[in-house]
Structure 1
């Protein structure tokens, strides 16, 4: 009995030690798991000239984009994502650097990006990420900071693209390809994800499309899609520009006058093989014959309406192929058990005009081209199905990528990480206004150089150079009362307080972002125009 009582405390002590040891091992194992878990992967999906109006996640009825919509339903949709400089190359340079065009040195198409400067892929790579860029690059120099690159040569065609990648000696080589460019870029992205990446490293891949850039050549399977539908015309299709300054009237980007026969598929395409050309002619031949037969009896308005339908349908057909490819990539992430630890981001370099103001193209600080789509899915961090009205920008993308990866954001980057917003906690000091600057004049479509500020409710724009001449034209819009930006209220006594406030904010932002006083950093000479066949340049009427 004494023996039994004497051994009881020792047994309790032994059991207690065993419990604590087990707990220690469990905690240690869990801690080790947390320590060894990879940082999130990043899949950045980027298109060229895709507007919010052509994405059904933004409640547009002109197209259904189920795979883009899936990112929004499983993540966050941003309604006020603004671009800093609404044109292809400059937008990409801003994303690489997290800096405005005047600081990263790429202010207009035709410049060459200085890849020696600090970029976010270099910082991710130094932190242990595997990095890749596949598809459209459009920065005129060899990509730096990437373990793998396979990019379009220049702008890139819609069919049979030459693409640049690193050869065995590490030097860039150009390889030909046969097929539809959107599908080729998706195939290459999937191949890299499946076969070329290091499974022991987190990755960041930039999966970047040419589509839906001009001149909107659909994939073979979509050549006749939408033929039986009539796409609704925007209410400003017939805008006469009377409510704005001279710049709006002197542009050269109207559906009425500036779409070429090549844009409208009335001229034979270039660069096709025999099978592709045969499928193309089979689809467009009968439609073109019907138009040519009817044209002599059509009114000018009916001709413009025909051009609009041809243009917008081809644009939407190109978007449809992009959406298909996104679906393939999302499916692979699910199949490979990567989805839960991968941030998927969808955006475009700027917005676009689908007939609004009678236009195609971009460049302006007006809403349709200022706004970019931005959708972000981050399982466990972003509440599914949420929308956000904060003013965000492509200026914030580099900082966001770095923050997701746990990498310190350099002080000289000019944007801010979106991670707090994605987690539902917008910082109290988040920006309430946004600065925009466009430099390319003389240049394509004769859009005047301009800069401006918006708070999402009002917008102040200064146009300062047009066709080689200095101008000083101002526009102010009330975006609540006049969402289509048809009536310039600058100088009106009723808005002098708003005008003064925005003028002060504009000057503050120009100082904050170190914008040069001459407004024209770098060289801004008129770019050389490539010669094109007469049939492609002929304006269809």
Structure 2
């Protein structure tokens, strides 16, 4: 795989020399969704109401085995926006920005900066990088502290009743916010369903701002790169009451693998979920009815975001630019809803690392056919460059997905991820996780046990093979 990555720039150049092709730059519409596991009808979850994202999947290519490089917002978005492996630190993009201030030549351009350098108008709305709006400082609202310098011609974060981006990030209806401090004794409810229009929750404002920016950009002949980031279904799970309607009487399937692993792993006690939000003495790990309520409210948040995505896609169609625009929908990581007795992300199990990815291009071949090829978030940067004929970014760690966009049966490649003191690699048949102290987890995805049975001790030769493969990937891993 390493050799393939090293040869990609050369192969790309040779291909262009052998078959000169004239590219017409396409617009790029990137839609990011926070904490979205593949909880979508188009990804096989029948009880979910997600018609707008499903329509996008039917017009493009849904990657059913896309894996993020880190199971946390900031680090995952670092991989998306740089095309590189980084650390599991949520501040990775801010660290990169500080390196840029020092004129560190090792810092390569970001994805939007690369497009901006090549003649695109770049705009972000909402949560695209880790902080909604892309600023730092108190309440994440200091326009002089940029998370991604040189990236955006314009960056926006409507805040409304929530007053500032930090407030909007962890909010409920009508301006209610989670107080500052991760483990403050002042908490908000873990879920909520309130009557009202879409803008009583913050993603309604992000949707409106995204629509306005899309209209403005579509009125120009300059190609655009527009990124719109929605915050739900991130905790707390709050959405307008009507989005709960499809889930009132539906029967949810049983939680698979609900038991806590009895071997060392990246399991955790779901601290974000339990310590930062009110549960009134209830625990979904032991209370099936409460677990059911949490899952329904998560699903309602998915449907709420789906509606916002629908507004964006309808605006694109009405603009007349749909045939000139590449649309990407990306989830920044998954979220365990009780699998392995975890309610949250921040682990290296399948549920935290697998997230939706849909890419729709104009005149796509085999549109609507899903792919089971394994891919990772770092692949998005080079894919968008190849689709638009931009210079190949030879500093990225990912591979172009254009062959899979052309043929859904084309092969993918192993996906590499990391979290704190462990790293993992997902292949067609297995997940292998190696801890810093040398302890190994090996899971057979061809068996019905999947990640509920660690078979490392019974397969020492296979463990050694995976150690070598993981070491190859780790050679590209930069720590910030």
TM-score normalised to structure 2 length: 0.77
SS in 2 for 1:391: strand
* 1:407-426 aligned within 5 A: 407-424=390-407
- The count of residues paired between Structure 1 and Structure 2 equals 406
Q: Does 1:315 align with 2:298?
A: yes
Q: Is the contact between residue 47 and residue 250 of structure 2 (CA under 8 Å) also seen in structure 1? A: no
* 1:199-238 aligned within 5 A: 199-222=220-243, 226-237=247-258
Change (3 A) 1:483 1:334: farther
> Once the two structures are superposed, what CA deviation does each residue of 1:43-96 show, in whole Å capped at 9, x if it has no partner?
1111011111x1110111231211111111111111211111111001111111
Quote how far apart the aligned CAs of 1:456 are: 2.3
**Match in the other structure for 1:499:** 463
- Structure 1: gaps spanning 5 or more residues: 1-33, 163-176, 267-291, 440-448, 465-470, 516-520, 523-541
Change (3 A) 1:403 1:261: closer
SS in 2 for 1:72: helix
* 1:234-383 aligned within 5 A: 234-237=255-258, 239-242=259-262, 244-245=263-264, 247-248=266-267, 251-253=268-270, 259=274, 262-264=277-279, 304-383=287-366
**Match in the other structure for 1:114:** 96
**Match in the other structure for 2:119:** 128
Q: Is the contact between residue 265 and residue 441 of structure 2 (CA under 8 Å) also seen in structure 1? A: no
C-alpha distance in 2, partners of 1:213/1:80?
A: 21
**Match in the other structure for 1:170:** none
Larger Rg: 1
**Match in the other structure for 2:440:** 474
SS in 2 for 1:409: coil
Q: Does 1:451 align with 2:472?
A: no
**Match in the other structure for 1:490:** 456
Greater alpha carbon shift after TM alignment, 350-359 vs 309-318: 350-359
Quote how far apart the aligned CAs of 1:367 are: 1.2
* 1:91-170 aligned within 5 A: 91-102=76-87, 107-111=88-92, 112-115=94-97, 116=100, 117=107, 118-136=109-127, 137-139=129-131, 140=136, 141-142=145-146, 143-144=148-149, 145-151=151-157, 153-154=165-166, 155-159=169-173
Quote how far apart the aligned CAs of 1:303 are: 5.9
SS in 2 for 1:411: coil
C-alpha distance in 2, partners of 1:504/1:138?
A: 32
* 1:58-73 aligned within 5 A: 58-73=43-58
SS in 2 for 1:436: strand
C-alpha distance in 2, partners of 1:46/1:509?
A: 26
Quote how far apart the aligned CAs of 1:229 are: 3.6
C-alpha distance in 1, partners of 2:474/2:334?
A: 23
SS in 1 for 2:205: helix
Q: Does 1:45 align with 2:28?
A: no
SS in 1 for 2:30: strand
SS in 1 for 2:336: coil
C-alpha distance in 2, partners of 1:123/1:491?
A: 46
Q: Does 1:397 align with 2:380?
A: yes
Q: Is the contact between residue 79 and residue 387 of structure 1 (CA under 8 Å) also seen in structure 2? A: yes
Q: Is the contact between residue 38 and residue 201 of structure 1 (CA under 8 Å) also seen in structure 2? A: no
Q: Is the contact between residue 67 and residue 354 of structure 2 (CA under 8 Å) also seen in structure 1? A: yes
Change (3 A) 1:88 1:246: closer
> Once the two structures are superposed, what CA deviation does each residue of 1:391-421 show, in whole Å capped at 9, x if it has no partner?
2111111222222222112211111222232
> Once the two structures are superposed, what CA deviation does each residue of 1:168-210 show, in whole Å capped at 9, x if it has no partner?
xxxxxxxxx9732111111001011113555111111111111
- Structure 2: gaps spanning 5 or more residues: 1-20, 101-106, 137-144, 159-164, 177-197
C-alpha distance in 2, partners of 1:246/1:393?
A: 22
SS in 1 for 2:35: coil
TM-score normalised to structure 1 length: 0.69
Change (3 A) 1:366 1:483: farther
Q: Is the contact between residue 98 and residue 414 of structure 1 (CA under 8 Å) also seen in structure 2? A: yes
Indicate which of 499, 509, 519 corresponds to 2:473.
509
C-alpha distance in 1, partners of 2:79/2:266?
A: 26
**Match in the other structure for 1:23:** none
Q: Is the contact between residue 236 and residue 484 of structure 1 (CA under 8 Å) also seen in structure 2? A: no
SS in 1 for 2:130: coil
Quote how far apart the aligned CAs of 1:479 are: 1.0
* 1:517-532 aligned within 5 A: 521-522=479-480
